[in-house]
A and B are shown apart, each in its own frame.
Chain A
């Protein structure tokens, strides 16, 4: 008896006929040239368009901004990935937990999560997490209702092709990726947009410039 695998592959081969060229590489697409300053401004606009809260700051005032973001969302507890810079949360007066095999039920009782990011995309208002040590596993940035995401200005790229290029290494390492554009949303009821069905209802993006 032939296996399903053999049979499907045989069907494909016979559907395609015998005289075939091997797959050829498609020609490269032209890359856009871009102006880094404008890219971050555009990222701010497109991200805000998705009803995320967006702000820019400098590295020295980051802890205050994070504390203010958490206070603004009335969060009393926050979970942080083990690899996140601990100084970021020094301004926050509430409970800080470091992720350590918390169950989904545990996560459901925590108000907020803070993560770093891997890449930002200006054309679309997207942050991409590659779940490195400062971003943590996927569940922690999903279950709590508030997500504060910190991204460096130099991580923002203009468009999707630059983002996929920047993420190649993470993919080679077989890391999962999560692309986030605004808070959870649905338009399923008469096309009225409602924020937050299953994911975090608040997304707060903080862009940090290294100097200043």
Chain B
């Protein structure tokens, strides 16, 4: 995949998406601020949230063993997966053993990360996403662009068109004369998916939290599709990142306070399901939990980087990020967009590809992401840490174009005569630019800098030139 700056160009040029994103992020942002202000000890909660997660990470092996034991004791079957392929294989085998060719899914970042739907498709199993936004993304043959509102880049008429064109091919079609009113669109989704819920034999989920001392898994949601998936089918398979553990049932209350307010800006999300293995006569009688590593242990090995595993995927950092707001989620090239994606993705995947090397630079380092993060992840500090890693990996090799440009710049700034000459050159060039207000693309080596930025065009006259013109001589 190309680097972030080139990926971002599509997002920047898409004015519809920019408008949708701006509206969405600002709305959620202000809702969040209001409900966070209601909580008198918010800062204390954040500190505690971070401390609980740090505690888990510092003893992850112990807690995983404890979680496995309590899950097993409550009737669940535990599987371990080193990477995406292994996790997909486990799920595929479990589904095939049930002799079904379809299943229902509740939105899960972990299964997106391992590309489970695609892996199931290969063996002829259809995995139906049931969250309204995920349904829009899936029917639109698209990718999610936000953690919380994955179809936020689509507007209502686009959604209506997708429903009209795609629903019929995979189940209950959209009703005739479907309008683009959100209530009508939601009703169409309800009818389309209800049929799938009622007949589903197998469901796949993720989990927001996994409680080590009790073996309880937790899913927060709004629509009820989660409850449908978690209770109606006979078999439930949950893919859970190993960092999702919390030590005790009592620790969960911190996150039940932090997550909804940070995420949707609500005091509480409409539905939370908590289940502990199997319950006779209620819900799935066969419950599987796949504990997933897929790069998490290597994040854990980096003492600075480790804190990224505290993330509870609330998406608050996306909604305050000026870079995300303009570039959109697709530019990050992974399921984790925005500031958290910029640090988590290169850590999970390593920094060998050009995209993953560019992600730590996809930030203005303004620090807003840290201020809102409910578990106090020092995202700006981590970005700098990862930039250092990327630079170190390159040291000794050919200098980058940006490196050359910056070295030239420092040579120029080091001496005032060179600086003035350069300034005069740039004001001359501004006459060539005519009425343009931004620079656009500069020639190499400056292109590596200007490619991702709209810098204002230089003024037609420098301050020094103006001084000389209006005051006669250059006085020192």
Contacts and interface: CB of A to CB of B under 8 A. Distances in A.
Contacts of A60: none
Nearest to A46: B267
B88 interface: no
A85 interface: no
A160 B256 contact: yes
Contacts of B186: 186, 189, 194, 196-197
Given A139-B232, A171-B214, A181 B270 contact: yes
Interface string B263-284: 0101111111111110101110
A39 interface: no
A201 to B, nearest CB: 9
Given A16-B58, A192-B182, A199-B224, A181 B269 contact: yes
B224 A174 contact: no
Interface string B123-155: 000000011110010000000000001011001
The CB with the most chain B CB atoms within 10 A, among A12, A123, A164, A182, is that of A12
The CB with the most chain A CB atoms within 10 A, among B63, B68, B227, B230, is that of B227
Interface in A160-212: 160-161, 163-165, 168, 171-172, 174-192, 194, 196-200
A152 interface: no
B48 A29 contact: yes
Interface of B is mostly: helix
B133 A191 contact: no
B113 to A, nearest CB: 16
A135 to B, nearest CB: 10
Contacts of A22: 59, 62
A29 B45 CA distance: 10
A202 to B, nearest CB: 13
B216 interface: yes
Contacts of B182: 189-190, 192, 194
Nearest to A52: B270
Interface string B415-453: 000000000000000000000000000000000000000
A168 B27 CA distance: 36
A185 B223 contact: yes
Contacts of A179: 256, 268, 271-274
Interface string B51-80: 110010011111111001000001000011
B242 A8 contact: yes
Contact of B231 (A4, A50, A139): A139
Interface in A132-166: 137-139, 142, 159-161, 163-165
B269 A12 contact: no
Interface in B306-358: none
B165 interface: no
A108 B198 CA distance: 9
A104 B282 CA distance: 12
A179 B267 CA distance: 13
Interface in A1-45: 3-5, 7-9, 11-16, 20, 22-24, 26, 29
Contacts of A185: 222-223, 270
A126 interface: yes
The CB with the most chain A CB atoms within 10 A, among B68, B136, B252, B277, is that of B252
A8 B55 contact: no
B247 to A, nearest CB: 7
A65 interface: no
Nearest to A126: B268
Nearest to B278: A174
A6 B80 CA distance: 9
A72 B203 CA distance: 35
A80 interface: no
A185 B252 CA distance: 24
B159 A189 contact: yes
Contacts of A181: 266-271
Interface in B175-223: 182-183, 185-186, 189-190, 193-194, 197-198, 214-216, 222-223
B411 to A, nearest CB: 43
A137 B242 CA distance: 30
Contacts of B291: 8
A164 B224 contact: no
B82 A165 contact: no
A78 interface: no
A20 to B, nearest CB: 7
B232 A12 contact: no
Interface stretch (B114-122, B295-303, B399-407, B466-474): B295-303
Nearest to B212: A23
A131 B273 CA distance: 12
B151 A188 contact: yes
Contacts of A160: 253, 256-257
Interface in A103-142: 104-105, 108, 121, 123-126, 131, 137-139, 142
A198 B256 CA distance: 22
Given A165-B250, A180-B270, A8 B297 contact: yes
30 contacts: A4-B79, A4-B81, A8-B82, A8-B293, A13-B61, A15-B297, A15-B300, A16-B61, A20-B59, A24-B55, A108-B194, A121-B268, A131-B279, A139-B232, A139-B282, A159-B257, A161-B253, A164-B249, A176-B276, A177-B274, A178-B273, A181-B267, A181-B270, A184-B270, A184-B271, A186-B133, A187-B222, A189-B159, A197-B189, A198-B197
Interface of B: 20, 23-24, 27-28, 44, 48, 51-52, 55, 58-65, 68, 74, 79-82, 86, 130-133, 136, 149, 151-152, 155-156, 159, 182-183, 185-186, 189-190, 193-194, 197-198, 214-216, 222-225, 227-228, 230-232, 242, 247, 249-253, 256-257, 260, 264, 266-277, 279, 281-283, 291, 293, 297-298, 300-301
Given A198-B190, A198-B228, 16 more contacts: A8-B242, A8-B291, A12-B61, A20-B58, A23-B55, A23-B58, A123-B267, A164-B256, A171-B276, A177-B274, A182-B270, A188-B132, A192-B182, A197-B225, A198-B193, A199-B227
